[in-house]
Amino acid sequence: MAKRSVQAYIEEVPSWDGGARLSGPPLSAMQWLVWSLATAGKFFEGLIVFMGGIALPLIAEQFAMTGSDKGLVTAATLAGILAGALALGGLADRFGRKPVFIGEMVLLAVALLVAAFSPNTATLVGALFAVGLALGADYPTAHLVISESIPAAVRGRLVLGAFSFQALGAVLGTAIASVVLSSKPELGTWRIFYLIPVVPVLLVVWGRLFLPESSHWLVSKGNIKKAEKQLRKLLGRKDVELLDLEIAEEGHIERSSDWGQLFRGKLQRATILASVPWFLQDLSTYGIGIFTPVIIAAAFGSEAKEHTVAAVIQNDLIGARGTALVDVGFLVGIACAIALADRWGRIPLQILGFVGCAAGLIIAALGNLNGHSNLVVIVIGFVLFQFMTNLGPNAQTYLLAGEVFPTRVRGLGAGLAAATGKVGAVLTAFFFPTLLADWGTERLLPLLAVTSLVGAVITWIYRIETTGVDMESI
């Protein structure tokens, strides 16, 4: 059998005597296992971050937090994601995808235990930052593990399918928090929120031990024999002989993990496209996602003049239940993104989504004008926003970041893009409570709508369409 590249084997469509052949490349049991275990990081992110929005009022009351303390607790996980994506994402280019893929989950389990038993605000902030480090490392690594293991024709659907578990985690986290808080209406119930994911995280660690290393990465390091062995494991076949490919197809990218190369030549356009829209969408996606319970509770919660523990818990439950309704748009949006990404393309969906986000935010702002809250209008606006952000920028920025860079710097580039996005998330998380109190939704939401429209413009100017393009020719 003639020697071929890694992607050629992944793209191969079996044929039989008589000319019969499948319509597309089949996926092996190991490829499906790779995909299923790569969904975990996004699921845990949605579960932990959005559950944290419900935990915040309880934590704030128990630890007697100031406004700045609340901002630190909310921003800690997002700041950790930023640092993890930036500092740890590039490790997957140096040491391999698999070691980082396993190590990040070990760190997550330890950090969750520390968070659950935190005696004070400082310890909790540190633990949540470590949670973010683990989740941040998963941003580029999970994408690379999937995209370097599957055929180009279904890459968009499977990467976004994995990403959709963030939405599932957010919805499930909100539901679990509501049920747990209803059955145990106490301030200390927030600790249970951080204990719940620990056992599932450890199970994911165990499962990832059995996955193969990326053959694309091994070839890029010149380790052809090991790449052949890992590709046999991935595809479940024995007849694998690889070409000793050079990096000519990838534009002679330097061998070092040099951040500067991401801002030179053709890679500069890819870096801007992957990073700037992600920053702009995270400003609104995390602001609305985390603080929807607070916004709904502020508009429709208890109006009791006395500040009591019972009132805090009651308002938190109102916010949690309202958020569960809003998060339906989250799930429907990501489902549509999965169905359309490989048909309509990444760029059209991202632009459409940004424009739709702006519309949803304006509608939500109109529902709270002049101090009069209209629940129906606010919910419609937030549902539309959640649908459009997950159809467009929340899904497509993640997808594009792992596709527009060549193999040797894919982890570095995807990590930088994710970190840039999380700068927006951290800024929102830290300043949103203060701005919400000082400006109100009628001023804050239109400002976020403007950032969404800017995201649409940047996407169009720096567009690079990767739909159907295989990972070796990028």
CA separation for the pair 318, 162 (Å, rounded): 30
Look at residue 271 in the predicted model and tell me its pLDDT.
Answer: 92
Look at residue 323 in the predicted model and tell me its pLDDT.
Answer: 61
Orientation of helix 346-366 relative to helix 441-461, angle to 10°:
170
Alpha carbon of 377 to those of 245, 302, 316, 324: distances in Å?
57, 20, 21, 16
**Domain assignment present for 365:** yes
**Domain assignment present for 474:** no
Look at residue 13 in the predicted model and tell me its pLDDT.
Answer: 67
Total domains in the chain come to: 1
Q: How many CB atoms lie within 10 A of CB 18?
A: 6
Look at residue 322 in the predicted model and tell me its pLDDT.
Answer: 58
**Domain assignment present for 473:** no
**Domain assignment present for 178:** yes
Q: What is the CATH number of the domain that holds 105?
A: 1.20.1250.20
**Domain assignment present for 467:** no
* pLDDT < 70 stretches in the chain: 1-2, 13-24, 89, 244-258, 287, 289-328, 370-373, 375, 429, 432-434, 436-438, 440-441, 470-474
CA separation for the pair 140, 419 (Å, rounded): 10
Q: What's the farthest any 2 CA atoms get from each other in the chain?
A: 81
Look at residue 50 in the predicted model and tell me its pLDDT.
Answer: 75
CA separation for the pair 328, 416 (Å, rounded): 30
Look at residue 8 in the predicted model and tell me its pLDDT.
Answer: 80
Non-local CB neighbours of 439 within 8 Å, separated by 6+ positions: none
Look at residue 313 in the predicted model and tell me its pLDDT.
Answer: 62
User: Among 260, 280, 285, which residue's Cα sits nearest to residue 420?
Assistant: 280
Alpha carbon of 168 to those of 27, 54, 152, 197, 424: distances in Å?
24, 16, 25, 14, 22
**Domain assignment present for 85:** yes
One-letter amino acid identity for 442?
Answer: E
**Domain assignment present for 10:** no
Q: Domain of 108?
A: 28-211+263-461
CA separation for the pair 77, 32 (Å, rounded): 30
Q: Residue 214 has what DSSP assignment? A: P
Task: Please give the model's pTM, rounded to 2 decimal places.
Answer: 0.74
Look at residue 144 in the predicted model and tell me its pLDDT.
Answer: 83
Q: Which value, to the nearest 10 degrees, does the dihedral of the CA atoms of residues 245, 248, 252, 256 take?
A: -10
**Domain assignment present for 21:** no
